[in-house]
């Protein structure tokens, strides 16, 4: 097996063009899987072409206009969501190498993720609609409750590898996957990654009780961009758990890229399953859980990992 350090660190430049299509394909697969499960639960026939059909329908649909809308922020917010997701995706190691091997990769990833905050608020604010605004505020109000445990979970993995570079974090797990020494960080990461994409039980910002919340006034291509961007963000956020905690492309027999795909698929399936099992969590209740339970847990987890690193003579 070649040393990861001696291999060229980043994928060839043409991957910049491939990456968005790859992520969109994965997001479409997630939508198809989710829709098939729903169809089966209803006793209907599964429809794997549903994302394509739905995208086509939205593309020809009319864009809704509202009175006194702030269209600059409204459209900009929708566009930021998928762009931020793809930009975050450039540091994901697809196999052994990412599209861009940044030395501060995980911080970059987090910075792109929080753009979703601004995006959802802008989309909620833009149409001059009360329900949209309620949805946007729901997300922003939860922001720190999501972001702090998320940040601590990411930093714990970086601490274990003594590097902010995703490929270094993968390389540091050659002996032992980080999920073994930092299980709390792994679970908290998955929870908060789902929450950052306002998915699963954290979908209050686009909840049915506020008629779709931030997405209430979206139709046609705007809805496609927003809903697609949200799924891209979910895919990317969940996919980073693989290099952070599950050893990246490490595994027997299969090539690295296939292991990354398999592990990502398993995690995405888990996230879909959780969404179907749990109802939407009330926002104020989760805030309390995040501050009283998750933040202290992740801090203790980071402390334990720091002691392990010091014990093996790291941080010299």
Partner 1 sequence: MTVLFWILAVVAVVAGFAVFRLNSMAQVTFALLASFLAVAGLVMLLGLGYLGVVIVLMMVIEMVIMAVFMVMYMMNPAGLMPMAMYHNKSGSMAIAVGTFAVLAAGILLTDWPTRRGAPAPDQTFALGEALMGGQMLTMMTLGVTLFATIVGTVVLATARGRYDRFGDDLDRRRADDPAGGGPG
Structure tokens that stand for 162 in this block: 């003594």
In the complex with partner 1, the residue whose CB is nearer, 37 or 283, is 283
Contact 40, 59 (CB under 8 A): no
In the complex with partner 1, the residue whose CB is nearer, 48 or 140, is 140
In the complex with partner 1, the residue whose CB is nearer, 117 or 259, is 117
Does 63 help bind partner 1 (rule: CB under 8 A)? no
Least distance between partner 1 and beta carbon 113 (Å): 9
Round to whole Å and give the CA distance between 115 and 118: 5
Contact 72, 238 (CB under 8 A): no
- Which string of x and - marks every residue 65-94 that binds partner 1 (by CB under 8 A)? ---xxx-xx--x------------------
In the complex with partner 1, the residue whose CB is nearer, 133 or 232, is 133
Contact 185, 156 (CB under 8 A): yes
Round to whole Å and give the CA distance between 97 and 5: 10
Round to whole Å and give the CA distance between 195 and 78: 18
In the complex with partner 1, the residue whose CB is nearer, 108 or 259, is 108
Contact 115, 80 (CB under 8 A): yes
- Which string of x and - marks every residue 261-300 that binds partner 1 (by CB under 8 A)? ---------------------x-xx--xx--xx-------
CA-nearest of 115, 98, 131, 89 to 215 is: 131
The footprint of partner 1 (CB under 8 A) covers 68-70, 72-73, 76, 102-104, 107-108, 110-111, 114-115, 117-118, 121-122, 125, 128, 137, 140-141, 143-144, 147, 164, 282, 284-285, 288-289, 292-293
């Amino acid at each position: 097996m070649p040393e990861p350090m001696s291999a060229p660190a980043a994928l060839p430049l043409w991957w910049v063009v491939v990456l968005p299509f790859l992520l969109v394909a994965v997001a479409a697969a997630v939508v198809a899987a989710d829709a098939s499960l729903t169809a089966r639960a209803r006793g209907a026939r599964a429809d794997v072409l549903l994302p394509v059909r739905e995208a086509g329908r939205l593309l020809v649909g009319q864009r809704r206009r509202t009175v006194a809308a702030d269209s600059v922020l409204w459209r900009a917010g929708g566009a930021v969501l998928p762009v931020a997701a793809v930009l975050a995706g450039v540091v994901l190691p697809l196999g052994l190498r990412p599209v861009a091997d940044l030395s501060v990769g995980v911080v970059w990833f987090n910075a792109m993720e929080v753009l979703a905050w601004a995006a959802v608020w802008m989309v909620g604010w833009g149409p001059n609609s009360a329900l949209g605004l309620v949805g946007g505020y729901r997300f922003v109000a939860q922001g720190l409750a999501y972001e702090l445990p998320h940040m601590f979970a990411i930093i714990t993995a970086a601490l274990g590898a003594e590097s902010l570079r995703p490929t270094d974090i993968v390389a540091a797990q050659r002996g032992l996957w980080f999920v073994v020494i930092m299980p709390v960080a792994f679970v908290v990461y998955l929870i908060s990654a789902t929450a950052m994409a306002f998915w699963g039980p954290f979908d209050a910002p686009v909840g049915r009780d506020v008629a779709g919340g931030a997405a209430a006034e979206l139709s046609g291509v705007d809805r496609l961009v927003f809903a697609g961007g949200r799924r891209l963000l979910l895919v990317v956020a969940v996919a980073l758990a693989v290099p952070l905690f599950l050893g990246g492309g490490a595994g027997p027999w299969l090539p690295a890229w296939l292991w990354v795909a398999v592990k990502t698929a398993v995690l995405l399936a888990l996230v879909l399953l959780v969404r179907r099992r749990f109802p939407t969590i009330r926002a104020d209740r989760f805030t309390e859980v995040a501050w009283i339970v998750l933040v202290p847990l992740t801090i203790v987890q980071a402390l334990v990992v720091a002691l392990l690193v010091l014990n093996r003579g790291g941080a010299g």
